[in-house]
Amino acid sequence: MQKQTVAFSKESSNLFFHILTRCNLRCAHCYINRAQHGETTLPIDTIESWLDIFAGQILDGCAAQTNLIFLGGEPTLHPDLAQAVKYARAKGFKSITIDTNGYLFHNILDKVTPEDVDVISFSLDGATRQTNDAIRGDGCWDAVMTGVERAAAKGFACSMIYTVSEKNIHELDLMPDLLKQLDISRFFIQVVGIRGETRDTDARHQVSKETWLTVIPEVAEQIAQNGTTVIYPKVFLHPGDTFECAARVSHNYFVFPNGRVYQCPVCEDFPLHSFEILDGALVPRPQINETDLFGLDIPEGCVMNKMIQPGNLAYDKTGAPCHKIACCLLKEEITP
Ligand code: SF4
Ligand code: SF4
């Protein structure tokens, strides 16, 4: 087993492409914000032209170093997702992932092949039907179980995302057994974010620092021992760890149907995006936007965290922060 912090790289990039914001579910912690990102379902010719922009824009036109993730809402609700996937494959993107809530609309598994799609990533927020469906909606557990089974039977590589909160952390230790039964190659643990349409409600239930640091690494090791690679956010930096902002070092683009393009996901509830897509081109936005903030060095680590979700900070008697918050894109990886 090998554990490592995944360093940010200038040599590769990630394109998180929200092709619509519509969804059949209403998860308690949904991070989508339609007031900020629109309700448009992008027409297929727009999706293709935006893929052209990024295939040409990122890393001097090297789509071969860019991982593309199709997102929504629920991306399989888009009737032309299969065409978008095939278009992206022909463009030469390094990898193509579809993130899904498990419902796999429009018979997507019959319209794309494992040669077209590198990974189908399923969201599950509980090891039992009761816990998962209380968070994500009735019927969701069964949809994911059936979806993983069908996708794996067709030869697709499947991964799973588990967003941890106080509502489901007690079931994380049941996941090693469940994952053993499913054909999942990579398991992503996420921290529940304070963003989306329900940002101001108490629906988030983030776990404490102590709980996070005790439970997550232990369960991750158990899962890795069973043969599945586990990836989870570092969140809290230890003394001596170097703070790095991904936006200063690497290339991450979070694209929304209204043309907003962010480099930092923590900003997505605010009109702080670095770029917008206007008349078929990626255009930098005037000051002040997120780009002007990435360079600020503060003792708390991530500047957006302090501005937008400071509840996870603590200070000692001298007023110094007890810990630095890592970039939300900094991950630990344990490989079997
Ligand atoms: S499946 Fe995703 S987009 Fe849909 S409600 Fe849940 S978190 Fe939001
Ligand atoms: S989460 Fe913080 S550290 Fe990471 S890209 Fe955003 S501002 Fe930078």
Assess contact for 79 and 106: CB atoms under 8 A.
Answer: yes
Q: Measured from the CB, is residue 302 less than 6 Å from ligand 2?
A: yes
Q: Measured from the CB, is residue 26 less than 6 Å from ligand 1?
A: yes
Give the side-chain half-sphere CA count within 13 A for 34.
Answer: 10
Instruction: Determine the Cα–Cα distance for residues 291 and 274; give it in Å rounded to an integer.
Output: 6
Beta-strand pair 186-191/158-164: parallel
Of all ligands present, the nearest one to the C-alpha of 73 is: 1
Classify the C-alpha dihedral 181-184-188-194 as positive or negative: negative
Query: Could you tell which of 191, 273, 303 is best to mutate to test the pocket of ligand 2, judged by most ligand atoms within 8 Å of the CB?
Result: 303
Q: What would the two tokens of residue 98 be? A: 């579809």
Domain boundaries, the chain: 2-335
Q: Please give the number of the atom of ligand 1 that sits closest to the Cα of 123.
A: 1
Instruction: Determine the Cα–Cα distance for residues 57 and 275; give it in Å rounded to an integer.
Output: 12
What is the C-alpha R_g of the chain?
19
- Stated length of the chain: 336
Q: Which CATH superfamily is domain 2-335 in?
A: Aldolase class I (3.20.20.70)
Q: 213 CA to middle of ligand 2, Å?
A: 20
Assess contact for 42 and 72: CB atoms under 8 A.
Answer: no
Instruction: Determine the Cα–Cα distance for residues 77 and 90; give it in Å rounded to an integer.
Output: 22
Assess contact for 134 and 126: CB atoms under 8 A.
Answer: yes
> 174 in helix, strand or coil?
helix
Assess contact for 76 and 100: CB atoms under 8 A.
Answer: yes
Query: Could you tell which of 19, 23, 26, 268 is best to mutate to test the pocket of ligand 1, judged by most ligand atoms within 8 Å of the CB?
Result: 23
CB atoms within 10 A of CB 78: 24
Assess contact for 84 and 255: CB atoms under 8 A.
Answer: no
Instruction: Determine the Cα–Cα distance for residues 130 and 318; give it in Å rounded to an integer.
Output: 45
Q: What is the pTM of this model?
A: 0.95
Assess contact for 42 and 92: CB atoms under 8 A.
Answer: no
* Per-position pLDDT tens, the chain of length 336: 899 999 888 888 999 999 999 999 999 889 899 999 999 999 999 999 999 999 876 666 667 789 999 999 999 999 999 999 999 999 999 999 999 999 999 999 999 999 999 999 999 999 999 999 999 999 999 999 999 999 999 999 999 999 999 999 999 999 999 999 998 999 999 988 776 665 655 546 888 899 999 999 999 999 999 999 999 999 999 888 999 999 999 999 999 999 999 999 999 999 999 999 999 999 999 999 999 999 999 999 999 999 998 888 999 999 999 999 999 999 999 999
Assess contact for 137 and 28: CB atoms under 8 A.
Answer: no
Q: Please give the number of the atom of ligand 1 that sits closest to the Cα of 24.
A: 4
Tell me the sheet residues that pair with 333: 4, 231
Assess contact for 17 and 71: CB atoms under 8 A.
Answer: yes
> 63 in helix, strand or coil?
helix
- For residue 136, the surrounding DSSP H or E stretch is helix 129-136
